[in-house]
């Protein structure tokens, strides 16, 4: 009996010692072009490369955008109705060095408003901005070389600290978005920047891959009436300036690893969803739709059953790859029809979330077919459409130079949906 007691106590102790982890949530649009046309000079506008656009959404519903402009970067913030809030042009160039287990950054950091005013030029020496400290000599910054002589304001902590470095991936993770926000409102002095440096390689610093995971279940997602969501697009006028886009997104079970079919930690096979956007220079409406079974508990792997389905609001859902197409008004209507006439049954092997997303995307003229894979426990002849297959397709399209394709090794988040109307 003593052994039984000890065995039971040990088992209970290990169970209760386990920790639950929660992870944050956080967008995208072609409205950026209109904002840039209004705020950038003609030369800067020509240099802006919209194909490099990356986006994310803040909890406030504001959207953050980043894109390349030659060797510089543009950072924009818009509100929930896609109205321009603020922007900045910044450059980070330099290298990360490591000695005695102490990693430092040296290089230059330039920042200005979109109108090229309120400039900040810093030459960073081992984390310290020379311009902010006691320094008498020649400094190199974005304006070239100049002799400077500064008093030390605060030599306690460096302005730039290296928290992690990544090999170039084309992606930007959630923490980096948060770090970039500090560049919007920088003054001329005494600002600290929190930069998560996207390394161009080298420097003797090992990469620090980040794999993050979320937990959700169909039971946690409220069923929506899609008609109430698609009716919102009627509030945006149809004219020559109206842009219609359809975006298909895929969320891998394990970020950055399309070869992994299942995430054993959050028990997720991944997800795919669709985003419809209709906008004009004066505002727009975005709605995200995902297809789920009504309950996970009735979908037992040993019995590949068909169950009632539901559409949910997938605004703010994470993704690792997405593909956006501009469509005509008629194609957009076809996509809306596909959403409103979504199947009312869900089958993991035969008709799952990826099948729904593809149906809507292809109804809008997407003409997308993806590699099919066998889902363990739900095998069907010819394989199934899966989030991994969608990721592989978008990645191959991106490698082939297809515009408006995005992949990331970490997380990005879809914009928030407007929600139901009427």
Partner 1 sequence: MKQTWLYKVFSHPILQLISFSIIMIGGEIFASPYLWYVRYGSADGQAFGITGVVAMITTLISIVVKRFRVQLWGLILMWVSLIVFFCQSHNKAGLFEFPITEVTLSLFIAVSVCVVLKHVTWKNY
- Residues of the shown chain interacting with partner 1 in the complex, contacts defined by CB under 8 A: 1, 3-4, 7, 11, 14-15, 17-18, 20-21, 213, 215-218, 260-262, 264-269, 271, 292-293, 296-302, 348, 352-353, 376-378
- How does strand 128-129 pair with strand 72-78? unpaired
Q: Across 70-190, where does the E strand assignment appear?
A: 72-78, 84-99, 102-112, 120-125, 128-129, 135-141, 144-150
Closest to partner 1 by CB, 42 or 302: 302
Closest to partner 1 by CB, 203 or 290: 290
In this structure, what token pair is assigned to residue 143? Answer: 């304006």
Residue 261 dihedral angles phi and psi, to the nearest 5°: -85, -20
Closest to partner 1 by CB, 87 or 293: 293
Rounded least distance, CB 43 to partner 1, Å: 49
Closest to partner 1 by CB, 87 or 256: 256
| Neighbour count for residue 218 (Cβ, 10 Å) | 20
Sign, CA torsion 222/337/341/56: negative
Rounded least distance, CB 18 to partner 1, Å: 4
Rounded least distance, CB 25 to partner 1, Å: 15
Rounded least distance, CB 37 to partner 1, Å: 42
Distance CA 192, CA 195 (A): 9
In this structure, what token pair is assigned to residue 267? Answer: 């028990």
Among 282, 319, 329, which residue's Cα sits nearest to residue 31? 282
Q: What is the dihedral of CA 215, 168, 27, 93, to 10 degrees?
A: 130
Closest to partner 1 by CB, 43 or 302: 302
Closest to partner 1 by CB, 55 or 263: 263
Closest to partner 1 by CB, 18 or 157: 18
Distance CA 334, CA 348 (A): 25
Rounded least distance, CB 94 to partner 1, Å: 38
Q: What is the dihedral of CA 387, 389, 392, 394, to 10 degrees?
A: -70
Rounded least distance, CB 214 to partner 1, Å: 9
Rounded least distance, CB 366 to partner 1, Å: 23
Residue 56, strand partner residues: 64
Closest to partner 1 by CB, 23 or 282: 23
Are the CB atoms for 170 and 256 separated by under 8 Å? no
Distance CA 86, CA 35 (A): 10
Sheet with 84-99: strands ordered across: 48-57, 63-69, 72-78, 84-99, 102-112, 120-125, 128-129
Rounded least distance, CB 392 to partner 1, Å: 18
Closest to partner 1 by CB, 24 or 234: 24
Start-to-end CA distance of the chain, whole Å, equals: 66
Distance CA 313, CA 325 (A): 21
Closest to partner 1 by CB, 196 or 354: 354
Rounded least distance, CB 222 to partner 1, Å: 16
Rounded least distance, CB 218 to partner 1, Å: 7
């Amino acid at each position: 009996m003593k052994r039984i007691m000890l065995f039971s106590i040990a088992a209970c102790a290990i169970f209760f010692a386990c920790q639950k982890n929660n992870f944050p949530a956080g967008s995208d649009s072609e409205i950026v072009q209109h904002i840039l046309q209004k705020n950038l000079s003609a030369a800067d506008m020509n240099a802006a490369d919209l194909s490099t656009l990356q986006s994310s959404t803040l909890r406030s519903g504001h959207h953050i955008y980043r894109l390349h402009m030659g060797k510089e970067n543009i950072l924009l913030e818009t509100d929930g109705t896609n109205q321009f809030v603020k922007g900045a042009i910044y450059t980070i160039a330099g290298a990360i060095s490591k000695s005695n287990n102490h990693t430092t950054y040296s290089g230059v950091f330039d920042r200005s408003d979109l109108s090229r005013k309120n400039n900040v030029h810093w030459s960073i020496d081992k984390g310290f901005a020379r311009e902010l400290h006691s320094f008498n000599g020649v400094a190199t910054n974005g304006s070239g070389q100049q002799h400077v002589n500064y008093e030390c304001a605060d030599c306690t902590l460096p302005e730039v600290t290296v928290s992690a470095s990544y090999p170039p991936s084309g992606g930007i993770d959630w923490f980096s978005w948060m770090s970039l926000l500090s560049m919007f409102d920088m003054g001329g002095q005494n600002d600290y920047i929190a930069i998560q440096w996207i390394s161009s390689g080298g420097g003797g610093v090992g990469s620090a891959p980040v794999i993050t995971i979320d937990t959700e279940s169909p039971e946690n997602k409220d069923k929506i009436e899609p008609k109430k969501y698609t009716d919102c697009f009627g509030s945006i006028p149809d004219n020559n300036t109206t842009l219609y886009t359809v975006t298909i997104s895929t969320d891998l079970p394990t970020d950055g690893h399309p070869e992994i079919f299942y995430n054993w930690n959050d028990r997720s096979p991944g997800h795919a969803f669709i985003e419809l956007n209709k906008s004009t220079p004066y505002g727009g409406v975005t709605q995200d739709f995902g297809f789920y079974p009504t309950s996970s508990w009735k979908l037992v792997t040993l019995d590949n059953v068909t169950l009632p389905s539901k559409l949910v609001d997938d605004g703010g859902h994470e993704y690792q790859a997405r593909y956006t197409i501009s469509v005509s008004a008629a194609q957009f209507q076809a996509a809306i029809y596909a959403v409103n006439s979504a199947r009312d049954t869900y089958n993991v092997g035969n008709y799952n979330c990826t099948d729904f997303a593809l149906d809507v995307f292809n109804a809008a003229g997407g003409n997308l077919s993806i590699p099919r894979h066998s889902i363990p426990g739900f095998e069907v002849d010819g394989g199934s459409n899966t989030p991994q297959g969608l990721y592989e397709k978008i990645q191959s399209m991106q490698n082939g130079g297809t515009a408006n394709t995005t992949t990331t090794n970490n997380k990005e988040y879809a914009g928030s949906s407007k929600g139901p109307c009427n």
